[in-house]
Amino acid sequence: MAAVPQEEAGPGPSPKRREKPKNKNRKKAAPVDESELLTVPDGWKEPAFTREDNPKGLLEESSFATLFPKYREAYLKECWPLVQKALGEHYVNAALDLIEGSMTVTTTKKTFDPYAIIRARDLIKLLARSVPFEQAVRILQDDVACDIIKIGSLVRKRETFIKRRARLLGPKGSTLKALELLTNCYIMVQGNTVSALGPFSGLKEVRPGRCSKHKSLCPTLMIKRELAKDPELRTQSWERFLPKFKRKNLKKRKEPKKKNTKKEYTPFPPPQPESQIDKELASGEYFLKERQKKRKRMEEIKAKQADAVKRRQEERNKAFIPPKEKPVVKTKKASTEKKIDIEAIKEKVKNAKKKKLGALPEEEVKLKMAADEKKKKKKK
């Protein structure tokens, strides 16, 4: 078969791809500061979600339910019309079941905001955690969020947990009020949970200090609040400005009851303990006969028994020992030194009988009679 002729490689250069002509007149893009892209300008607010953004509404019905404790039943029954009115503005239905002790929220055909059901779910959760309706209804706003923090599992001992929860509240609620002012959040401590309601930036600060035992929490928040006002320091690290507190209450290791002290090392082995025969040889019992040994043992047993009987008899006799009587204090008789004057008493009684009830004394009667006589003389 004839071979297929191959093309011979010429001495010229190998073929290359066409290169695009470089545009020398193109200007380089100005470098953009990434910090400007990450920061939100002051005073900017996200536009509200309206029906024009979602004119067709939702395809499926969504619902959430939550249980509430028995002590919240009376309050929820009283404020439930207000809850239905607030959720009705967002076209969300709310149902209260007092038999099962549950609250349910569901979307309707008119609901256009897909996030409205999530906010309604947070609303009934806050109401179940003893947050008043006036504060819980703020969750329906776009710039408000909530966080329910569980604090019951932080500490094993119940007593320690109660002390730390009291430390979070402070005397007359002063510590909790300071946290609310610094974070711009409403904080409610109830049972084993802490409910926080406010802006996102404030909720970030509330969660680390939920049951903080450090005194540095409030000063740190105050410094961060002042640093956030400076636009130049927003992108920088704030660690150099924040205070660093050392922990003073260090847990002391419990010392064991029995301390094992190490003995000094000696290359010689310990002395061999004495055997029973060695002890008998030292006391002389080894050379005694079997009858004498038996008699000695019996004497020791009888001596122990006699001591036990004596001690037992003394304890029994304690019940028959009479207690010490207190010395009798002799009462002094009333002194009859002052004699009663019977004759003087008799005279007083006679004078009292002569006088009539309501009658004036003799001197006053005489004065009155003299005054009457003078009046008669003047008239004549």
What per-residue confidence (pLDDT) applies to 77?
94
The enclosing H or E element of 197 equals strand 193-198
What per-residue confidence (pLDDT) applies to 337?
52
Contact 147, 206 (CB under 8 A): yes
d(CA 211, CA 208): 8
Walking along the chain (380 residues) 10 residues at a time, the average pLDDT comes out as 42 47 51 60 80 88 94 94 94 94 94 93 94 94 91 87 86 84 88 90 75 53 70 69 63 75 86 89 85 90 95 91 82 59 80 63 76 77
Contact 136, 197 (CB under 8 A): yes
What per-residue confidence (pLDDT) applies to 17?
47
d(CA 158, CA 81): 38
Would you say how long the chain is, in residues?
A: 380
Structure tokens at 20: 């695009």
d(CA 65, CA 83): 15
Chain segment 42-65, per-residue pLDDT in tens: 777 888 888 888 888 888 999 999
- At what angle are helices 158-169 and 174-183 packed, to 10 degrees? 60
Q: What is the pTM of this model?
A: 0.52
Chain segment 284-335, per-residue pLDDT in tens: 888 888 888 889 889 999 999 999 999 999 999 988 888 888 887 777 655 5
